[in-house]
Amino acid sequence: MKQNIKFALGALAIFVAGGIFATALITVVKPKEAEATLKEDAYRYYEMKHGEITTQQTNGETAAAAPTEKTEKQDDTVSVIVTPTNTWAEGSNAVQQFSVAVTNNGAAAINDWTCVIEFDGEVMDNINGWGGASYTALGKTVTISPTEPWAKEIQPGDSKKDFGFQLRSATGVTYKTAKFTSDLGEIKIENKEAEASPAPVEVESYDGTSPVALHGQLAVKGTQIVDKNGEPVILQGVSTHGIAWFPAYVDKEGFKTLRDTMGVNTIRLALYSSTNEGYSKAMHQKVIDGVNYAKELGMYVIIDWHILANGNPNTDKEAAKAFFTEMTGKFKDYDNVIYEICNEPNGGVTWENDIKPYAVDMINHIRAVDDNAIIIVGTPTWSQDVDIVSQSPITGQSNIMYALHFYASTHRQELRNKLNTALSAGLPVFVSEFGISEASGAGMIDENEGTTWINYLRSKGVGYVCWNLSNKNEACALIKDSCTKTSGWTDDDLTQQGKWLKKVYTSK
């Protein structure tokens, strides 16, 4: 299998939460350029030198600095920047998303702190937050208390930009000010005159015609996905490349272009799960952003824990649990979210000994929070051996599907036979990744075999997601490497696979 580093909203009453920035001596930190190299067996040697990897500082605990005698001259100030980044309606409530950046402008290290953020109205207590901290809503305030050592410690001149939260209120609130207390005592926040507010975040309305508006919460019935009315629905999607390498394509306008011009109803957000392939906790925010863009556009979205180089999903199992704890906590009430818990198990791992025990544990972990969403389970040999899985599927669980991946120039009738065996045995299968190149993601493009695959999948009611949304110089990318646009693509901007995909997805 490919070893590549790789829909409702009806008319909403839109509110706009104004953003006032409490700032002081703001430091702008440019993302570091990064380079990722992967040697992979079976098909190719792959070297990646493209895009940016946003890394997260992971300082260990350090000894607390000795308290300093404060004088009039000591510049113990911090910047607390609270930025509204998204807003939407959820029933009768307003949901707002904010990012928070904290900068230490003083001369001494901060080794523990609490920040109380005040709004102009009452907020509800069911708040979701991220970034190595706990979040408490009370009255008109939200309190951030870091829990991880790397979040607690802020060196002089250092900025922490990984914090953020979603809050609910009756009509929407506006940020007013913040109070910052640390191991050095209460630290002054110097408020400048309010900066200009960012442009309002608009939630679009599609008068009941978006994919999610038409079909609502999905479920698994027999071997197929069915919608809120129990009718079969086929998801046809596009997967991002690894979001650490191509973060610019996690883009609302880009998703909108895919939906409106290419017949795409589903976005797959691929988060590589190995640090050697760009994983960091900072990338969680990109996943969160992508899910919310999909929700605003009425599209379905797959949150993909992208196992690849770390072949056995048990290798990073605890990180996977932490990731899905965060994601389910945020999205358990969303009706457009699907979880994919292990992209492509490989390297000799087996279904019975490795993948199935992992999947049972992870499914129980997710179901403790979200008991409705569809969960996709990877299968052996880079998600090809669905026939083997069909002999011993997971029992006692609903809304479970099993992944099949194919690349049409390599995988042909033999793999379709394996799929047919699984479907005949009653196994619900979803093609969470495919292309029409060779399995390496490079080489020959086979449009005819790709069309044969899609026609077969449609005849069986099996959904499918194409790899990949990027301008990487490879056959399986959808955008030409000469095109730098992240939305609004014309046919001239698309690769051969991109043009084929548009033709097939928009056909009936």
What pLDDT, on the 0 to 100 scale, is given for residue 20?
32
- In contact, 448 and 410? CB cutoff 8 Å: no
Nearest CA among 257, 309, 240 for reference residue 472: 240
| b (16+ CB within 10 A) / e for 308-340 | bbbbbbbbbbebbeebbebbbebbeebbbbbbb
Dist. CA 60–CA 165, nearest whole Å: 24
Section 225-246 average pLDDT: 96
Those residues whose C-beta lies under 8 Å from the C-beta of residue 260, and which sit 6 or more positions away, are none
- In contact, 169 and 94? CB cutoff 8 Å: yes
Share of the chain above pLDDT 70, in %: 80
Both tokens of 101, joined, read 């950046």
Among the options 340, 433, 438, 474, which is catalytic? 433
What pLDDT, on the 0 to 100 scale, is given for residue 476?
98
Residue count (the chain): 508
What pLDDT, on the 0 to 100 scale, is given for residue 310?
94
| b (16+ CB within 10 A) / e for 479-491 | bbeebebbeebee
Q: Pick 211-505's CATH classification: 2.50.20.10, 1.10.10.10, 3.20.20.60, 3.20.20.80.
A: 3.20.20.80
Q: SS3 for 144?
A: strand
Nearest CA among 112, 113, 116 for reference residue 137: 116
Instruction: Confirm whether 202 is a catalytic residue.
Output: no
With a cut of 80, say whether residue 41 has pLDDT above it: no
Domain boundaries, the chain: 36-52+76-189, 211-505
With a cut of 80, say whether residue 101 has pLDDT above it: yes
DSSP conformational letter for 361: H
Q: What is the pLDDT of residues 370-381, one digit of tens each?
A: 999 999 999 999
Dist. CA 344–CA 487, nearest whole Å: 28
Instruction: Confirm whether 318 is a catalytic residue.
Output: no
With a cut of 60, say whether residue 474 has pLDDT above it: yes
- In contact, 3 and 382? CB cutoff 8 Å: yes
Section 289-313 average pLDDT: 97
| b (16+ CB within 10 A) / e for 246-276 | bbebbbbebbbbbbeebbbbbbbbbbbbbee
What pLDDT, on the 0 to 100 scale, is given for residue 76?
63
What pLDDT, on the 0 to 100 scale, is given for residue 17?
36
Lowest mean pLDDT among 96-105, 263-272, 445-454: 96-105
| Pairing of β 141-146 and β 224-226 | unpaired
What pLDDT, on the 0 to 100 scale, is given for residue 45?
27
What pLDDT, on the 0 to 100 scale, is given for residue 188?
66
Average pLDDT over all residues of the chain? 82
What pLDDT, on the 0 to 100 scale, is given for residue 91?
64
Section 460-470 average pLDDT: 98
Section 15-19 average pLDDT: 36
CATH class of 36-52+76-189: mainly beta
Lowest mean pLDDT among 86-90, 199-203, 247-251, 310-314: 199-203
CA-based angle 360:364:369, to the nearest 5? 155
With a cut of 80, say whether residue 35 has pLDDT above it: no
What pLDDT, on the 0 to 100 scale, is given for residue 90?
66
Both tokens of 395, joined, read 């029992």
Q: What is the pLDDT of residues 315-357, one digit of tens each?
A: 999 999 999 999 999 999 999 999 999 999 999 999 999 999 9
**Which range has the top average pLDDT, 115-124, 165-174, 179-188, 288-297?**
288-297
What pLDDT, on the 0 to 100 scale, is given for residue 489?
98
Section 358-379 average pLDDT: 97
Among the options 277, 326, 340, 344, which is catalytic? 344
| pLDDT confidence tier of residue 147, bands split at 50, 70 and 90 | confident
**One-letter amino acid for residue 407 of the chain:** Y
What pLDDT, on the 0 to 100 scale, is given for residue 98?
87
E strands in 113-213: 113-119, 128-130, 133-138, 141-146, 159-169, 175-182, 185-189
| Pairing of β 185-189 and β 175-182 | antiparallel
What pLDDT, on the 0 to 100 scale, is given for residue 326?
96
- In contact, 406 and 415? CB cutoff 8 Å: yes
